[in-house]
Structure formats: C-alpha cells, structure tokens
C-alpha cells in the first residue's frame, strides 16, 4: 500500500505522536511532568479518533453485485485518473432515443438489467454505466458522490466513442437510488449531455435526494458522539475541498436537493411506497421542492420495492404513459 496516499495517514500520524508521548512520559524526556504528557497524549488520541472517523465516512461499497453477462451487450473499459469504468451498451440498428442507466449503491449493470431490457424492447439504445468500485469498475481511494459524478460526467461526454451521433435522436437519464442522486447532478448542466442534444428527460426510481440523511445514518452507525460531530464535519469538508478544490463545502444542505440541483427538464419519479432502504424523506424532499416551473411527474407505487424489481407492471405502465407525453418521441 502506498502509505502517503492512504486515507488513514492522518490517523496513523496522530497515533504515532500519542505513542511518542507515552514513551516520553515513561522515560521522563524534556523534563515535563507526567500529567502534561498525559494531556498531550490524550489530545493526540482524540485527534486520531476524529481522523479515523473522517476516513470511515468515505466508505467503499464492499461486496457488490456481479456485472451483467450477455452476448447481446458490449462491454467497454475506459479510464480516467487511474480508475477504470465499465460501460455496457446495447445499440439498435436504426436511429433511436438513447437512455443512460446509473445504478444504486452496491449495485451493478445486472441490477438494472430488467429495466434496461424494457427500453431495448422498445427499440432504444441503452447504456449502463457502472459506478467506481461497482461491478467491473475499479474502486476510488475515497468513495464519494462528487468523485463519482466527475467520472460519470467524463465518460458520458464520450459516449460517441461507442454509439455514433447519427443514430441518436433523444437523450435520457435513468437513475436508481444513488444513481438518481448522481444523474440529477449531471442533469442540471446541458454541457454534460453528449451528441449536442438537449436532455429530453430524467427518470428517477426511489432516488437518494438528501445526502445529509445518508451522512447522519453513517455517523449513527459509527456511534460518533453528538458533541464531536461539528468538528468531525469540519474535517470531512476539509477532505472534500482537498479532493475537489472547486467545491466550497460550508453546509450539508448544499449536498441536498434543491441546492444539489433541480433539473429544468421533464422528470419522472417512481417511488417505492414502502422503501425499506431510504424511506420516504428523499421522495418528499423532491416533491416539496417542485413548483409549477418544475416539470415533475411523480408516483408512489405500492408493488415496487427499493431494490430488485427487475420487472414491475405498475412502474412500466407509468413509464409508458410519461414517455408518450414527450414530443416527437416514438414509443413502440
């Protein structure tokens, strides 16, 4: 392991200093009293704990689903900053809309295969991008949504390497769970859309919309005491700034909708009524953010679960009804 690039480096430095304090106290170095060495050692241990918890926030996905295995789909491996992204494509033989799928946390291309095949049968081109550290994509040193957005943005802008522009009539995003969070961010800037096309629409399924809720859940799981969370968050923002110098992190709200982004395109949100993974807070935040100027159509679906659900009749009926409202869009 490259120690200098390790996310645990600051923790190790503070632990090393705490160890030195213990040695100096026992040996009586520098003529300081044992009480003073204990105080200095406690200060070092406290900082080691904080830095450990900062690094623990940037968790890696761990065990993830395997990628879609099919001779009908083509696999592409593309690289950015030493991270390889696995992209799978299904191209029709005629001009058609193109939809890009971004799956959820610990998912893969196989996780959205059923949803993707529905569009394939409708005659669409389909692209599935596997997030860093998922499927056959290689991991990030510190997994975070901002870096995932950066990688997805780069590769989506270069989709014409796989599907030529003359075959693409419309462009859509389909984001599930964490993929909804990332595709929402990508959708707020027309410069992120390839083929010199406008974004025709954004489809969100049980999307993550409030990153603050996710961070709160992680902090609760790590049992971080409430009295140190302000300091902990300040240091998390320090690391975010280091990784993304253009981002000025001040509050968690800037990583929640609406500050995270509200696309000015038609949006369809299909939400599991009983979402055992994220609950309803994210859906409610999206709906409450919408206004008469927001082109949002949303449905709570009782038969839909957060994950799995490769096919769902209610979801697909809402999809078809919504797509038929898109001008100049041919639905088979």
At a CB cut-off of 8 Å and minimum separation 6, what does 176 contact? 101, 102, 103, 104, 107, 111, 112, 115, 204, 205, 206, 207
Q: What percent of the chain has pLDDT over 90?
A: 78
CATH number at residue 301: 3.40.50.1820
**Average pLDDT value over all residues in the chain:** 91
| 318 and 171 co-located in one domain | yes
Query: Residue 13: pLDDT band by 50, 70, 90 thresholds?
Result: very high
- C-alpha–C-alpha distance, residues 74 and 90, integer Å: 7
Q: Are residues 100 and 37 in the same domain?
A: no
Domain count across the chain: 2
**Residues 274, 238 within the same domain:** no
| CA pair distance 284, 282, nearest whole angstrom | 5
If asked whether residues 168 and 201 sit together in one domain, one would say yes
More confident residue, 78 or 328: 78
In this prediction, residue 272 carries a pLDDT of: 96
Burial of 261 (C-beta count, 10 Å sphere; 0-12/13-18/19+):
middle
Residue range 280-304, pLDDT digits in tens: 999 999 999 886 667 899 999 999 9
> pLDDT of 210-220, one tens digit each?
999 999 999 99
pLDDT-based confidence at residue 1 (cuts at 50, 70, 90) = very low
Same structural domain, 204 and 294: yes
Please indicate, yes or no, if residue 176 is contained in any of the structural domains.
yes
Q: What is the pLDDT of residues 259-278, one digit of tens each?
A: 998 888 999 999 999 999 99
Asked whether residue 293 is domain-assigned, the answer is: yes
Residue 330 lies in a domain: no
Q: Is the sign of the CA dihedral 260, 138, 109, 165 positive or negative?
A: positive
Same domain, residue pair 29 and 82: no
Same domain (yes/no): 197, 292: yes
In three-state secondary structure terms, 283 is: helix
Q: How confident is the model at residue 37, as a pLDDT?
A: 83
pLDDT, tens digit, 9 for 90 and up, residues 182-208: 999 999 999 999 999 999 999 999 999
| 123 and 19 in a common domain | no
pLDDT confidence of 5, banded at 50, 70, 90? low
- Tell me: do 201 and 119 sit in the same domain: yes
- Provide the H-helix boundaries in 205-331: 211-222, 229-243, 281-289, 313-323
Q: What is the largest CA-CA distance in the chain?
A: 84
Note whether residue 305 is domain-resident: yes
CB proximity list for 195: less than 8 A, separation 6 or greater? 98, 159, 160, 165, 168, 171
Predicted confidence band at 238 (pLDDT cuts at 50, 70, 90)?
Answer: very high
Residues 206 and 248 in one domain: no
Residue 156 lies in a domain: yes
- Looking at the fold, whether 280 and 157 belong to one and the same domain comes out as yes
Inform me whether the pLDDT recorded for 307 exceeds 70.
yes
Q: Are residues 235 and 278 in the same domain?
A: no
Residue 310: give the domain boundaries: 74-210+262-323
User: What is the DSSP code string of 227-256?
Assistant: GGHHHHHHHHHHHHHHH-TT-----GGGGB
pLDDT of 2 strictly over 90:
no
């Amino acid at each position: 392991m490259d120690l200098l690039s390790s996310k645990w480096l600051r923790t190790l430095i503070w632990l090393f200093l705490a160890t030195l304090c213990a040695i100096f106290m026992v040996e009586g170095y520098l003529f300081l009293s044992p009480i003073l060495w204990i105080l200095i050692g406690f200060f070092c241990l406290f900082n080691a704990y904080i830095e450990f918890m900062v690094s623990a926030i940037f968790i890696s996905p761990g065990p993830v689903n395997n990628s879609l295995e099919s001779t009908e789909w083509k696999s592409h491996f593309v690289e950015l900053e030493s991270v390889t992204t696995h992209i799978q494509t299904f191209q029709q033989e005629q001009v058609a809309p193109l939809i890009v799928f971004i799956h959820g946390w610990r998912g893969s291309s196989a996780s959205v295969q059923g949803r993707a095949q529905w569009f394939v049968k409708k005659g669409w081109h389909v692209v599935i991008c596997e997030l860093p550290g998922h499927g056959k994509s290689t991991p990030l040193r510190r997994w975070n949504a901002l870096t995932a957005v950066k990688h997805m943005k780069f590769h989506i802008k270069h989709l014409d390497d796989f599907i030529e522009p003359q075959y693409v009539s419309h462009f859509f995003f389909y984001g599930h769970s964490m993929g909804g969070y990332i595709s929402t961010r990508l959708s707020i800037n027309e410069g992120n859309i390839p083929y010199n096309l406008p974004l025709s629409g954004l489809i969100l399924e049980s999307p993550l919309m409030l990153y603050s809720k996710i961070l709160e859940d992680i902090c609760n799981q790590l049992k971080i005491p409430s009295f140190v969370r302000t300091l902990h968050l300040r240091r998390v923002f320090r690391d975010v700034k280091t990784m993304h110098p253009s981002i000025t992190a001040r509050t968690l709200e800037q990583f929640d909708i609406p500050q995270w982004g509200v696309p000015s395109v038609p949006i369809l949100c299909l939400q599991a009524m009983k979402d055992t993974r994220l609950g309803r807070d994210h859906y409610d935040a999206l709906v409450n953010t919408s206004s008469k100027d927001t082109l949002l159509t949303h449905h709570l679906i009782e038969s839909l679960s957060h994950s799995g659900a490769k096919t769902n009749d209610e979801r697909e009926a809402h999809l078809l009804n919504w797509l038929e409202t898109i001008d100049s869009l041919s639905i088979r």
